[in-house]
Amino acid sequence: MAGGFSVSASASASSGTEFEAKITPIVIISCIMAATGGLMFGYDVGISGGVTSMDDFLREFFPTVLKKKHEDKESNYCKYDNQGLQLFTSSLYLAGLTATFFASYTTRRLGRRLTMLIAGVFFIVGVIFNGAAQNLTMLIIGRILLGCGVGFANQAVPLFLSEIAPTRIRGGLNILFQLNVTIGILFANLVNYGTAKIHPWGWRLSLSLAGIPAGLLTLGALFVVDTPNSLIERGRLEDGKAVLKKIRGTDNVEPEFNEIVAASRVAQEVKHPFRNLLQRRNRPQLVIAVLLQIFQQFAGINAIMFYAPVLFNTLGFQSDASLYSAVITGAVNLLATLVSVYSVDRVGRRMLLLEAGVQMFLSQVAIAVVLGIKVTDRSDNLGHGWAIMVVVMVCIYVSSFAWSWGPLAWLIPSETFPLETRSAGQSITVCVNLLFTFVIAQAFLSMLCHLKYAIFAFFSAWVVVMSLFVLFFLPETKNVPIEEMTAERVWKQHWFWQRFMDGDNHHIVNSAGKINTV
Ligand code: BGC
């Protein structure tokens, strides 16, 4: 390797030294601004459950559901089982999972920052459509535009955060995205709690207030600098170095700069990032990214997040009390995410996921048992004490999700793909996440109707599977610099993934700057 260095393992990678980096105000402020992309995602996730349980909204767009809701003969578990209603919630996810592929192109070619700006514009137009909706078509078009915003934002924001952050606090800063998701959900729950009392246009206010997060992201994207990795990837080496000095608070950025330049040389050679993603040596990251998303959704969180008000209604709480419970779960979700911000770079990713697995499993089983014994098809009679117990169990479940699968399913893919496939990899991540979010959103009400309480047993079985996956297949990525997340440093050390590295071709950038494959 004389006279050059391997992109897969630079000198600093093998010694494991850290680059010089101060925690500068500009990094913190940039991350806070960019992370508002999560706010919009969270608001959209959180708002639909409350809105779809408001009578005024149902009367205007889904009169048959309204009728069913007030008919006593309908089974408790089946009141809301309506494909049209589910499509309102789901259309956003379908749009998002398609849009993310366009966003992959823009994050690579136009940069992370501009992609966030595009997301902001989509959000603003979508909010206008939704807030002003006169008919179902306008409502769905609005949701689709918001979905495009989610596709662009969820593509760009996690990458932005992981790239701009100093290694030792990368996990914590990346989780600001998820923290914003949870703030968005809570904000949406609070808004619904208030607007449910405003007749007949409370729902309109709920949908319009999404303008606040939309505006924040747009402003944020105007003010932040792009990441050095993205600038260098697009050939703007000097700008990249200047930004690196600014964000790291030191002039001594040469080692990190060189590492990014080397990674970007390889990236420029790659003409078809999605095809590259399928190469054997990229298998571990790809498999991990895809499975983390599927598992995140099959943990069942959105069954609770979208439908908490509906769910609590089903359990026999009155309309107001059910929104109240949704606010409680929203608050728990937010506070528990802070635990993750604090601990992810200390105890590591694996530890959080494994601990949470136990907690999620036990709480879901408990919920299934209580509902199974206490809620029958026709009787709302859960009883005060049992109802409280269910809410407590839901909170235990939500808190453990919030410090594990919630943030880490976004963090880990954004930090494990090499620069050359990072945008493509993130697209797959967003696409699979939204696809399965869609599946759950579309299927949950029907599943609740057919499986009844066993739906929680179903999710708990998935928790076992995903915890075993973490135990055996997920390497720890805490404290590994992002451009060193490579074969030598990570995958060749792993008992299983090392087999994908055998006979692997390595790109070597020689001193003349040429890439050789050895
Ligand atoms: C998930 C969302 C979920 C949210 C809950 C996110 O990480 O991707 O689907 O609604 O967490 O906090």
CA 396–ligand 1 middle distance (angstroms): 16
Q: Residue 182 CA: which ligand 1 atom is closest?
A: 12
Q: Residue 433 CA: which ligand 1 atom is closest?
A: 8
- What is the model's pLDDT at position 17? 52
Asked whether residue 75 carries a pLDDT value surpassing 70, the answer given is: no
- What is the model's pLDDT at position 11? 32
* Nearest CA residue ID for atom 3, ligand 1: 302
Q: Residue 297 CA: which ligand 1 atom is closest?
A: 9
Distance of alpha carbon 335 from alpha carbon 345, whole angstroms: 18
Q: Residue 437 CA: which ligand 1 atom is closest?
A: 9
Tell me the residue type at 122.
F
Distance of alpha carbon 503 from alpha carbon 493, whole angstroms: 15
Asked whether residue 307 carries a pLDDT value surpassing 70, the answer given is: no
321: its two tokens? 């009390």
Nearest to 434 by CA among 130, 115, 100: 100
Q: Residue 185 CA: which ligand 1 atom is closest?
A: 12
Asked whether residue 492 carries a pLDDT value surpassing 50, the answer given is: yes
Query: What are the pLDDT digits (tens) for 81-110?
Result: 777 787 888 899 999 999 999 999 999 999
Nearest to 146 by CA among 92, 185, 100: 92
Q: Residue 46 CA: which ligand 1 atom is closest?
A: 10
Q: Do residues 410 and 259 touch, judged by C-beta distance below 8 A?
A: no
DSSP 24: -
Nearest to 327 by CA among 1, 82, 49: 49
CA 18–ligand 1 middle distance (angstroms): 32
CA 302–ligand 1 middle distance (angstroms): 7
Q: Do residues 426 and 158 touch, judged by C-beta distance below 8 A?
A: yes
* Nearest CA residue ID for atom 11, ligand 1: 406
- Burial class, 275, CB count within 10 angstroms (exposed 0-12 / middle 13-18 / buried 19+): exposed
Tell me the residue type at 367.
I
Q: What percent of the chain has a predicted confidence (pLDDT) above 70?
A: 87
Query: What are the pLDDT digits (tens) for 132-149?
Result: 999 999 999 999 999 999
Tell me the residue type at 124.
I
* Nearest CA residue ID for atom 4, ligand 1: 406
Q: Which of 222-231, 274-283, 470-479 has the lowest mean pLDDT?
A: 274-283
CA 387–ligand 1 middle distance (angstroms): 24
| Beta partners for residue 5, in sequence order | 509
CA 360–ligand 1 middle distance (angstroms): 15
Q: Residue 407 CA: which ligand 1 atom is closest?
A: 7
Q: H or E element: which one contains 25?
A: helix 25-34
Residues in the chain: 518
Distance of alpha carbon 65 from alpha carbon 62, whole angstroms: 6
Tell me the residue type at 280.
R
Q: Do residues 330 and 185 touch, judged by C-beta distance below 8 A?
A: yes
Is residue 507 helix, strand or coil? strand
Q: Do residues 316 and 382 touch, judged by C-beta distance below 8 A?
A: yes
pLDDT band at 386 (very low <50, low <70, confident <90, very high): confident
- Burial class, 348, CB count within 10 angstroms (exposed 0-12 / middle 13-18 / buried 19+): middle
CA angle 312, 305, 309 (to 5 degrees): 25
Nearest to 434 by CA among 410, 462, 463, 399: 410
CB hemisphere CA count around 213 (13 angstroms): 38
Residue of 89, 181, 434, 459 to test ligand 1 pocket, by largest number of atoms within 8 Å of CB: 181
Q: What is the pTM of this model?
A: 0.89
Query: In which residue are the tokens 């990249």 written?
Result: 240
pLDDT band at 511 (very low <50, low <70, confident <90, very high): very low
Residue of 45, 329, 333, 404 to test ligand 1 pocket, by largest number of atoms within 8 Å of CB: 45
pLDDT band at 48 (very low <50, low <70, confident <90, very high): confident
Q: Do residues 58 and 203 touch, judged by C-beta distance below 8 A?
A: no
CA 300–ligand 1 middle distance (angstroms): 10
Distance of alpha carbon 116 from alpha carbon 107, whole angstroms: 9
Which residues form ligand 1's pocket by a CB distance below 6 Å?
A: 45, 178, 181-182, 185, 296, 301-302, 305, 333, 406, 410, 433, 437
CA 297–ligand 1 middle distance (angstroms): 8
Distance of alpha carbon 384 from alpha carbon 387, whole angstroms: 5
Asked whether residue 294 carries a pLDDT value surpassing 80, the answer given is: yes
Asked whether residue 7 carries a pLDDT value surpassing 50, the answer given is: no
Look at strands 4-6 and 507-510 and give their pairing: antiparallel
CA 268–ligand 1 middle distance (angstroms): 33
Asked whether residue 428 carries a pLDDT value surpassing 70, the answer given is: yes
Query: What are the pLDDT digits (tens) for 327-343?
Result: 888 999 999 999 999 99
* Nearest CA residue ID for atom 8, ligand 1: 406
- What is the model's pLDDT at position 157? 97
CA 515–ligand 1 middle distance (angstroms): 40
CA 137–ligand 1 middle distance (angstroms): 27
- What is the model's pLDDT at position 499? 92
* Nearest CA residue ID for atom 10, ligand 1: 302
* Nearest CA residue ID for atom 7, ligand 1: 406
CA 507–ligand 1 middle distance (angstroms): 37
- What is the model's pLDDT at position 391? 85
382: its two tokens? 């859960």
390: its two tokens? 């269910």
Backbone dihedral angles phi then psi of residue 476, each to the nearest 5 degrees: -80, 130
CA 182–ligand 1 middle distance (angstroms): 8
- What is the model's pLDDT at position 310? 64
* Nearest CA residue ID for atom 1, ligand 1: 406
Q: Which of 9-18, 94-103, 353-362 has the lowest mean pLDDT?
A: 9-18
Q: Do residues 15 and 165 touch, judged by C-beta distance below 8 A?
A: no
pLDDT band at 186 (very low <50, low <70, confident <90, very high): very high
CA 500–ligand 1 middle distance (angstroms): 31
Q: Do residues 196 and 323 touch, judged by C-beta distance below 8 A?
A: yes
* Nearest CA residue ID for atom 6, ligand 1: 406
The residues, ordered by sequence, that sit 6+ positions from 100 with a Cβ below 8 Å of its Cβ are 151, 152, 154, 155, 426, 427, 430, 431, 434
pLDDT band at 6 (very low <50, low <70, confident <90, very high): very low
- What is the model's pLDDT at position 135? 94
Q: Do residues 1 and 508 touch, judged by C-beta distance below 8 A?
A: yes
Distance of alpha carbon 204 from alpha carbon 317, whole angstroms: 24
pLDDT band at 446 (very low <50, low <70, confident <90, very high): confident
Distance of alpha carbon 147 from alpha carbon 141, whole angstroms: 10
Distance of alpha carbon 161 from alpha carbon 414, whole angstroms: 9
Query: What are the pLDDT digits (tens) for 151-182?
Result: 999 999 999 999 999 999 999 999 999 999 99
CA 406–ligand 1 middle distance (angstroms): 5
Asked whether residue 442 carries a pLDDT value surpassing 50, the answer given is: yes
Is residue 508 helix, strand or coil? strand
Distance of alpha carbon 222 from alpha carbon 33, whole angstroms: 10
- What is the model's pLDDT at position 243? 97
Top-confidence residue, 370 or 343? 343
Mean pLDDT, the chain, integer: 88
Asked whether residue 472 carries a pLDDT value surpassing 60, the answer given is: yes
